[in-house]
Amino acid sequence: MAVISTPNATSVKVKFDHGADVNGDRILKTKTLTNIKSSASDDDIMAVVNAIVGLQKHTLSATNRVDNSSLSE
């Protein structure tokens, strides 16, 4: 049988660099944006992330798109 993949909601994890602690180790904090349409393009998601980054005092370290799908036969 063929497996059917049904896309569910997408989320985006955005990491911010909060500088260094007293030992010199980097402090990274992650914000998760949820309930993003699975049909949203990467360009659109990055435009929203860049708009959010513009409102933050910390710099962007990484952006990860997380797609979730249900599988059935």
- In angstroms, the CA 47 to CA 69 distance is 24
Residue type, 20: A
Structural domain boundaries in the chain: 9-72
Percentage of the residues of the chain whose pLDDT score is greater than 70: 100
What's the mean per-residue pLDDT of the chain? 93
CA nearest neighbour of 26 among 34, 18, 15? 18
pLDDT (0 to 100) of residue 48? 94
**Which secondary-structure segment (H or E) carries 46?**
helix 42-53
